[in-house]
Amino acid sequence: MTATLRDVCRRARVSSATVSRVLNGSPLVAPATRQRVRRAMAALDYHPSQAARSLASARSRTLAVLFPGIASGFYSEVLCGMDEVASEHDYHLLIAFSHGPDDQERLFIRCLRERRADALVVLNLNLPDALARTAAKQATPIVFVDRPVQGAKGCWVGIDNTTGARLATEHLLERGYRRIAVITGPRDSYDAQQRLAAFRATLSRSGQPLEPWLVWQGAFTEESGAAAMERWLRSGRPLPEAIFATNDAMAIGAWRVLKEHGRRVPQDVALVGFDDCESARHLELTTVRVPMRQMGRAAVELALARIQQQEPATAQRLVPTTLVVRRSAPGIAKGVTP
């Protein structure tokens, strides 16, 4: 049988309270006693039962992480960052993917109400805002990643989309590109909206407002990027000088279609993405880098701070974005052959 705290008590000749104190690193234990208890634990190969601790202390030392269903490799970096911080603080990570809209709510409730976790980290889930607001009022701290809660200021870690999109746009403008098209993300995506807005604003500032027909609707998927490109090519209109895809997946889809139609990037049209996913590196796509690992770290840092009440329930954090210049929109002026 596996040893329990009582076994340790007997062997060390102390009370359960003392063993518990040693377990929890309380300073109220005489060094000699601590020694004895430690030895007893080692001798018995004792390991405390997590369930019992959770029940008695009402804390699980666990963080629940809710992912959106689409498991883009994208998120594994985020997860990795989360684990780094969590394990530094002796916390564990419980994860769940949403397999559908109903699921999201169910998972949510479960983690919260069944007290499986001391805090919740929610990634870019399409929780109805009402639920999100209710949730934010719960006792369990919640951190939203990459999706602010409308109306209720909850803890939130986001991407600096505005700077990223501005950098990308300025890069194109400075290289002499005009008539820049944009492939947008889904209308209800916060990131998509911000990226588009910053793109438009930067263009305006440069004195050349965005023309409506250069706004191509996408959905953050490779297919939607390809479809947008197809539509334009089939329309017979001349290519824009550059395209800003508001994420890499769509940029990759568009690029594929361009290739299929014999158009070259960047010679015939420059292309910039957003995210800097793994494939972007391999394809040499110029893009805006989003530090995924850092986002994960920030989210867990916030969650832990909330658990210790060291941070207001309205804390927010933005992770910075940077431009990564590669072949699809190189760092030299338009028309100059590398």
Query: Where along the sequence are the contacts to a second copy (CB under 8 A)?
Result: 2, 45, 47-52, 54-55, 60, 62, 71-77, 79-80, 83-84, 87, 92-97, 99, 103, 109-110, 113-116, 252, 278-279, 282-283
The alpha helices in 206-263, defined as continuous H runs, are: 222-235, 248-260
Could you tell me the smallest distance in angstroms from the CB atom of residue 3 to DNA?
8
What tokens appear for 62 in the block?
């666990």
Report how far residue 16's alpha carbon sits from residue 28's, in angstroms, rounded to the nearest whole number: 14
Could you tell me the smallest distance in angstroms from the CB atom of residue 138 to DNA?
16
User: Cβ(176)–Cβ(329) under 8 Å?
Assistant: no
247 sits near DNA (criterion: CB under 7 A): no
313 sits near DNA (criterion: CB under 7 A): no
Report how far residue 41's alpha carbon sits from residue 38's, in angstroms, rounded to the nearest whole number: 5
Could you tell me the smallest distance in angstroms from the CB atom of residue 119 to DNA?
17
Please list the residues that pair with 63 across neighbouring strands: 93, 119
CA distances in angstroms from 279 to 73, 128, 224, 320, 324, listed in the order given: 10, 32, 17, 21, 13
Helix 129-137 / helix 101-113 crossing angle, nearest 10 deg: 10
Q: Figure out which of the listed residues 10, 11, 21, 229 binds DNA, where binding follows CB under 7 A.
A: 21
Could you tell me the smallest distance in angstroms from the CB atom of residue 97 to DNA?
25
Q: Cβ closer to DNA: 60 or 161? A: 60
Q: Cβ closer to DNA: 34 or 171? A: 34
Which range touches DNA (CB under 7 A), out of 3-11, 77-85, 294-302, 325-333?
Answer: 3-11
Q: Figure out which of the listed residues 10, 25, 33, 163 binds DNA, where binding follows CB under 7 A.
A: 33
14 sits near DNA (criterion: CB under 7 A): yes
Please list the residues that pair with 298 across neighbouring strands: none
Q: Cβ closer to DNA: 30 or 336? A: 30
Q: Cβ closer to DNA: 21 or 306? A: 21
Q: Cβ closer to DNA: 24 or 206? A: 24
3-state secondary structure of 155: strand
Could you tell me the smallest distance in angstroms from the CB atom of residue 194 to a second copy?
25
Query: Largest alpha-carbon pair distance within the chain?
Result: 88
Could you tell me the smallest distance in angstroms from the CB atom of residue 142 to DNA?
21
Task: Pick out residues in 40-99 that bind DNA (CB under 7 A).
Answer: 46, 48-49, 52-53, 55-58
3-state secondary structure of 119: strand
6 sits near DNA (criterion: CB under 7 A): yes
Q: Which does 6 bind (CB under 5 to 8 A by kind): DNA, a second copy, none?
A: DNA
Report how far residue 46's alpha carbon sits from residue 39's, in angstroms, rounded to the nearest whole number: 10
Could you tell me the smallest distance in angstroms from the CB atom of residue 29 to a second copy?
22
Could you tell me the smallest distance in angstroms from the CB atom of residue 24 to DNA?
5
Taking alpha carbons only, the member of 64, 162, 79, 153 closest to residue 117 is: 64
- Measured from the Cβ of residue 100, the count of other Cβ atoms closer than 10 Å reads 9
User: Cβ(72)–Cβ(309) under 8 Å?
Assistant: no
Q: How far is CA 220 from the centre of its chain?
A: 15
Q: Which does 16 bind (CB under 5 to 8 A by kind): DNA, a second copy, none?
A: DNA
Classify residue 107 as exposed, middle or buried by CB count within 10 Å of its CB (0-12, 13-18, 19+).
buried
In the complex, the residues that contact DNA under the rule CB under 7 A are 2, 4-6, 13-21, 23-24, 27-34, 46, 48-49, 52-53, 55-58
